[in-house]
Chain A
Amino acid sequence: MSKQQFTDYLNRPPFASAMTKMQSSPPPSPVEEQEPNPTPPAEAPGPEDPKKKLLDSITQLGQTNVPQLESNIYCMSIIGQVEGHIQLPPQNKTTKYEHLIPQLVAAEQNSKIEGVLVILNTVGGDVEAGLAIAEMVSSLSKPVVTLVLGGGHSIGVPIAVAGTYSFIAETATMTIHPIRLTGLVISVPQTFEYLDKMQDRVVSFIARHSKISEQQFRELMTRTGELTRDIGTNVIGADAVKYGLIDEVGGLGSALKKLNELMENARKGKDEVLQ
């Protein structure tokens, strides 16, 4: 593009609007929010013309003051496929691992956030990515409540049990089935051992973070006659609680109530340490 062309671009209306959009896109920081002057400037018209006053404040600040909702809960949803090392084709709805991990870091670091609500409706995905998310969730110092809605299948299971407390909707299901290998198998014993180790990572994580025993989980995982395409079990709502995989059957209301309760306890604990 030549210099002349570029100046033409600058003068064209779409670019001018794009520039202002780009500049106004970041939300005002909390400090800026408090800044708007409560008293109108001297040259502003009298209070009899509220419309003009509003217009003036728009031109002065360059934008209207949008009230921002401050929540002490951070809600994270894990939907579709958990995407890890390979970017999945566009027909998949994915939860991107590289976006979720910094979100968890930010939630842990942000002093305004006191609790995290994880909502799951996932069909599974990458083992490494799923386990990484589960580990991050379980190591957060803030209370985390997980809620399985619809489905929390395969690698969604360790994420669902990683929180401080877990809920499952009455109609939600979790499919427990073994990890499969597709692709090239170079040598059978080594591949078997590798896969077995992979499986162990998932199973031991679940056993450590929920009330289900490793034995019981393996029994569910290798059961035949329940799934059409695979071995394993489909646990629905109350069944997941019965096996000890999930803490309670409940919906959004009970999940938020529990999270508020846990946050209250965490606050109390902090106060005790300070005294």
Chain B
Amino acid sequence: MILHSVMPSETVFANMDLVEKQELKEVTFGHATMLVEQTGPFEGKIVRLISPDPQDYLKPHFAPGQTVQFQPEWNS
């Protein structure tokens, strides 16, 4: 990747270790899959949206940074 920016790269890439520590959870809603950073037991912040329907990207509640609520996981 080549960075073309007025910000010095040492500022941009500082705290890079935090990115690796970030744990993302996949939440599906309809045909949209969201990568969510969990902030509570049933709550998370959208980091990325993956959807085959481009119209989903126009919906404000799917935008990165929005909070979503989801169901608890079933593992037994």
Contact = CB atoms under 8 A, between A and B. Distances in A.
Nearest to A175: B6
B58 A25 contact: no
Prevailing SS type, chain A contact patch = mixed
Nearest to A103: B57
Interface string B13-32: 11110110000000001100
B47 to A, nearest CB: 8
Interface residues of A, number: 56
B22 to A, nearest CB: 8
A85 interface: yes
A155 B76 CA distance: 50
Chain B CB within 10 A, most for which of A15, A74, A195? A15
Contact of A179 (B2, B6, B41, B72): B2
A102 B57 CA distance: 6
Given A92-B12, A179-B4, A102 B69 contact: no
Given A87-B19, A106-B55, A154 B42 contact: no
B69 A99 contact: no
A187 interface: no
Contact of A123 (B7, B43, B54): B7
Interface in B20-76: 29-30, 41-43, 48-49, 51, 54-59, 61, 63-64, 68-76
Contacts of A18: 42-43, 69-71
Nearest to A199: B4
B19 A6 contact: no
A26 B8 CA distance: 40
Interface in A65-118: 74, 81, 84-92, 96, 98-99, 102-103, 105-107, 109-110
B74 A1 contact: yes
B39 to A, nearest CB: 13
User: Which residue among B4, B43, B51 has the maximum number of chain A CB atoms within 10 Å of its CB?
Assistant: B4
A90 to B, nearest CB: 6
A126 B72 contact: no
Contacts of A202: 4
Interface of B: 1-9, 12-16, 18-19, 29-30, 41-43, 48-49, 51, 54-59, 61, 63-64, 68-76
Given A96-B64, A99-B48, 7 more contacts: A1-B76, A21-B69, A22-B68, A90-B15, A106-B54, A106-B57, A125-B3
7 contacts: A18-B69, A22-B69, A85-B1, A89-B12, A102-B54, A106-B55, A125-B5
